[in-house]
Amino acid sequence: MNMERSPGDAQEEWLLDEPTVRPYVMTRGRTDARGRFDLVTIAVTIRSTTGAEVGLDPEHLTIARLCRRPLSVAEIAAHMDLPAGIVRVLLGDLLEKGYVAVQQPQPETDVLDERTFRAVLDGLRAL
């Protein structure tokens, strides 16, 4: 058999890598320790806010309002003109308090099962 290193080998090696946790996000002394959100983690508001909640800042309320429809971290950051890192921390607060649900992106290992492949291909063709 072929004993040379192929791109496939490199990929499997990469898949075994532990995700690197870079505690780069600081918001008022809080680090993003509540689990990482990818730029394309999708959030949606599941409990509506009145604005009178204790412990929620105006930025939290803005996110809760934006996420009445599902939005990615990157989109929230762009709409609010905030760095994505800050959005991650704020989203962590909202998640902890039960205001939002999040959907992590497909893990790399099975991102392209056949069903996903067909759906994406059909979606692109229909563009």
Binding site for other proteins (CB under 8 A): 1, 7-15, 19-20, 22-24, 38-42, 44, 46, 70, 72, 74-75, 77-79, 83-85, 101-103, 105-109, 111-112, 116-117, 119-125, 127
CB of 57 to other proteins, least distance (A): 19
Question: 91 vs 102, which CB is nearer to other proteins?
Answer: 102
Tokens 């059909």 belong to 122
Question: 52 vs 110, which CB is nearer to other proteins?
Answer: 110
| Beta-carbon-side half-sphere exposure of residue 31 (alpha carbons within 13 Å) | 5
CB of 102 to other proteins, least distance (A): 8
Measure CA 89 to chain center. 12
CB of 114 to other proteins, least distance (A): 8
Measured between alpha carbons, how far is 44 from 101 in angstroms, rounded to an integer? 6
DSSP 10-42: HHHHHHHSPPP-----EETTEE--S----TT-E
